[in-house]
Structure 1
Amino acid sequence: MRQATGFLEFRTERQGLLDITREVAEWADAQGVREGLLTLFCRHTSASLIVQENAAPAARRDIEAYFARIAPEDAHAYEHDEEGPDDMPAHLRATLTQVQLSIPLIGGRMALGTWQGIYLFEHRRRPHRRTLALHLAGE
């Protein structure tokens, strides 16, 4: 069995979903593993990872709008606001999604479905640098 670890860094420009499928696939491909399990871990408390629809932009917009409704920016609703009005809503949105994904590699490729992509979900309004830790184990 072989293992590989590494980091990928992304710059987000705004709140919302950033498709990172290509960058993750390129990293996995460079490791030379044909069969295994890829784990991605988001090293932040105000961003997260999701696997979601990658063909219809309306689906992504609806997801972003949904999270804005269930964890709204409201100065009177939260005690924690040290980094501004989007601070606590960002933490709530990250809590409701996930910071880790596990994706099988089969035949040297991520076993994503036809319409699935990997997204970094930025929950803060201002630009950030986000780092993902990756671990790939397999043969």
Structure 2
Amino acid sequence: MGIHTIGIESTGEVQLIDITPQVEALCSHIQEGVCVVFTRHTTSAIVVNENEEGLKRDFISTLDTLIPKDRGYAHDRIDDNAHSHLKAMLLPTSVSIPVHDGKLMLGTWQRVFFVELDGPRSRRVLVSIIRAA
């Protein structure tokens, strides 16, 4: 039980990084409970979805269409990354996943992703494991 950290080194500006194996390893000793995966970064997100390359490209393309990079956002005068913050505001910062017999209760195609929106960067994801009483 407790809070654990997963280190991530993103290599692209926008990137979906499958962190399922790291999360599974942290939960492998839990009989019953819940795993909460959380990002503390304002230009990132945590999502659960399928790990299929076409879908990942479509996701990034859709975000870019909704929130283009060069729109003259007010925040760009400070850090030139307003588009990254705005994209993150549309996505969750955490997910909760039930754990049973040391396994994440994900669906057949579901994976846990760290979504990098302002990379490349060094990042940290928090994983909180809550055992059932």
Distance across 2 between alignment mates of 1:27 and 1:13: 24
> May I ask how many residue pairs the two structures share in their alignment?
130
Q: Give % identity.
A: 28
Q: How far 1:137 sits from its partner (Å)? A: 1.0
Q: Which residue of 1 aligns with 2:86?
A: 92
2:53 aligns with one of 36, 50, 57 = 57
Give structure 1 stretches of 5+ with no counterpart: none
* TM-score, with length taken from structure 1: 0.88
Q: Which amino acid aligns with 1:128?
A: R
Could you list the runs of 4 or more consecutive aligned residues of structure 1 that deviate by over 6 angstroms after TM superposition? none
Give structure 2 stretches of 5+ with no counterpart: none
Task: Say which SS state the counterpart of residue 106 (structure 2) adopts.
Answer: coil
Deviations 1:78-127 (A, max 9, x none): 1001222xx11111111101101100001210000000111111111x31
Deviations 1:49-101 (A, max 9, x none): 100112x210111001100110110142x1001222xx111111111011011
Q: Which amino acid aligns with 1:132?
A: V
Q: Which residue of 2 aligns with 1:28?
A: 27
* TM-score, with length taken from structure 2: 0.92
